[in-house]
Amino acid sequence: MPERTASFWKLAGPGAVLVGLSIGAGEIIVWPRIAAQYGGSMVWAAILGVFLQLWINFEIARWTVATGETVFSGFARVWKGFAVVFLGFTIFGWIAPGWAMASGLALKALLVGPDGFGSGTFWTGVTFAFVALLLFGPKLVYTGVEKSIELLIVVVVLGLVAVAVAVGTAEHWAALGKGALSVGNIPEGMSIKALFIATVFAGAGGTANLFYSFYLRDKHIGMGARLPGLANPLRGRTEKTPIGGFIYEDTPENARRFRDWFSYIRREQTLLFYGLNTVTMLLFIFGALAVLHPQGIVPQAGRLIYDEAMILESVWGSTGRTIFLLVGVATLFSTQLALIDGCARSVSDIVYSNIPAARKRDVSWWYVVIAAAWIVVGTTITWVMEQWNITELGFVFSAAYIGGFAMAVYVPLLLYVNFKYLPKSARPGPVHTFFTVVASLVYVGFAVACIVWELSPKP
């Protein structure tokens, strides 16, 4: 186990990327829409959702810090068939680009208005082009993703604080606080499916949490330092990637080093993922409580960001509108960037690690091919969506729904692989075990309840 020598802030990038991934769909689309429709009564569920995902992320990190492997490799150690299972969850969960279309529509609203020049496909293509520049430009893929998303998060946080100051009142803050304490309260008319979707998208959600494994390895955290980061083959030669990781010898010194690394993980995830995620999500909900809910406005597909921005304009002038549209673009684009990167990493890792013929090419080559294909397919699907008048909201909700079933599979599986394969000094303790079991029960319970709900006759 390598010694940790770098400071906390020098290492603190993976958690920020995960935050950038989290804020773009659930925080700006799903939860503000719930607040606009039901008020602050569901705030408790948003906070609980992020809290559960915090413990899931700890277990994802535990595997990669201790072995240098991605969690997909860990799952395949249990059963080779899990490679196909998670390939399916990743592709079917994220290939339909509701998140990318929302990003394109936000950019269109900012620059020309929602009814201005260009189709949704055109503006989605523009955002995909920016994604391609950021993924295929830097020599190290992770560097470009991390720096871009950190900048976007700064824009989002400053913009949300400005909005809260401009429109917030003591009454709105009281409604937010009351909702946070109303644990177990579910508004009449909200289905179990809608609640499941909302809980999944309180945080990264679905297989997106598993992307954290790649970020840790590329940042050389723990045993990830023993493996090469993902290099850009378009910018030079790449290093051959081993298909397996390492298990450290369980000596007192190695155990101490693991605890030091995991202490960093706890601080980074608690501060950045849980802390920053919760704050930004509450600010988005607060904006909907202050701006949309009092007027009884539940925004239609493609207009949530623009509708809220226009109401802010009536309160704070054109500056308010511009600030919120900038927040919307930054939020959605950060998710679009992180999702394409994470999906391409996941698919290329699963293919490279489990198909011997695929290893004739390096994993970096597969990453570029899959990311490029994802962009082309995403743009094509956007065009089809537009021709058939299919909105981005349906695909965002479907992604969360599929992702919830993925979590019902991988959360208990994480606990199993960490107990079965890791050295004793790296295994979860009682507190981590307890909360991961709770998370497992929540997601498995939701999945079973949703299957029953889907099969039951509807009135």
Kindly write down the DSSP assignment for every residue of 326-385, as one continuous string: HHHHHHHHHHHHHHHHHHHHHHHHHHHHH-GGGGGS-HHHHHHHHHHHHHHHHHHHHHHH
413 in helix, strand or coil?
Answer: helix
Distinct helix (H) and strand (E) counts, the chain: 18, 0
Distance in angstroms (rounded) separating the CA atoms of residues 183 and 192: 16
Mean pLDDT value across residues 53-66:
98
pLDDT at 347: 97
pLDDT at 238: 60
Helix orientation angle between 304-354 and 14-22, rounded to the nearest 10 degrees: 130
Tokens 């689309």 belong to: 29
Torsion of CA 52, 54, 58, 61, to 10 degrees: 120
Confidence of residue 304 (pLDDT cuts 50, 70, 90): low
pLDDT at 208: 96
Identity of residue 458: K
pLDDT at 239: 59
Q: What share of the chain is helix, strand, coil (3-state, %, to 5)?
A: 80, 0, 20
pLDDT single digits (tens) 129-147: 999 999 998 877 888 898 9
Closest of 111, 133, 97, 16 to residue 383, by C-alpha = 97
Distance in angstroms (rounded) separating the CA atoms of residues 178 and 209: 29
Closest of 182, 440, 181, 146 to residue 272, by C-alpha = 146
Mean pLDDT value across residues 3-31:
86
Burial (Cβ within 10 Å: 0-12, 13-18, ≥19) of residue 286: buried
pLDDT at 299: 66
Distance in angstroms (rounded) separating the CA atoms of residues 233 and 82: 28
Confidence of residue 29 (pLDDT cuts 50, 70, 90): confident
Distance in angstroms (rounded) separating the CA atoms of residues 381 and 177: 41
Q: Give the range among 19-28, 33-42, 324-333, 407-416 with minimum mean pLDDT.
A: 19-28
Identity of residue 338: A
Distance in angstroms (rounded) separating the CA atoms of residues 140 and 206: 26
Stronger pLDDT, 312 or 144, i.e. the higher one: 144
pLDDT at 386: 87
Distance in angstroms (rounded) separating the CA atoms of residues 406 and 332: 23
Residue 25: pLDDT over 70: no
Burial (Cβ within 10 Å: 0-12, 13-18, ≥19) of residue 269: buried
Mean pLDDT value across residues 427-433:
98
137 in helix, strand or coil?
Answer: coil
| Two tokens, residue 56 | 């899931």
Closest of 372, 458, 439, 382 to residue 192, by C-alpha = 458
Domains, the chain, ordered by start? 8-455 (1.20.1740)
Distance in angstroms (rounded) separating the CA atoms of residues 99 and 302: 11
Distance of CA 154 to CAs 151, 160, 334, 377, Å? 5, 10, 11, 31
Of all residues in the chain, what percent carry a pLDDT higher than 90? 65
How many beta carbons lie within 10 A of that of residue 388, not counting itself?
7
Confidence of residue 295 (pLDDT cuts 50, 70, 90): confident
pLDDT at 459: 66
pLDDT single digits (tens) 366-377: 999 999 999 999
204 in helix, strand or coil?
Answer: coil
pLDDT at 99: 84
pLDDT at 143: 84
pTM of the model: 0.94
Mean pLDDT value across residues 45-51:
96
pLDDT at 237: 60
Identity of residue 29: I
Average pLDDT across the chain, whole number: 91
Residue 300: pLDDT over 70: no
Helix orientation angle between 71-78 and 81-94, rounded to the nearest 10 degrees: 140
How many beta carbons lie within 10 A of that of residue 456, not counting itself?
7
Q: Give the range among 134-143, 190-199, 323-332 with minimum mean pLDDT.
A: 134-143
Residue 406: pLDDT over 90: yes
Closest of 92, 93, 70, 26 to residue 304, by C-alpha = 26
Burial (Cβ within 10 Å: 0-12, 13-18, ≥19) of residue 334: buried
Residue 76: pLDDT over 90: yes
Mean pLDDT value across residues 406-427:
98
pLDDT at 230: 82
Mean pLDDT value across residues 53-69:
97
Mean pLDDT value across residues 161-178:
88
What's the Rg (C-alpha) of the chain?
A: 21
Residue 301: pLDDT over 70: no
Residue 49: pLDDT over 80: yes
Residue 307: pLDDT over 90: no
pLDDT single digits (tens) 236-278: 666 567 778 899 999 999 999 999 999 999 999 999 999 999 9
* Winning range, highest mean pLDDT, from 72-76, 103-107, 455-459: 72-76
Distance in angstroms (rounded) separating the CA atoms of residues 375 and 98: 13
DSSP string, 9-37: HHH--HHHHHHHHHIIIIIIIIHHHHHHH
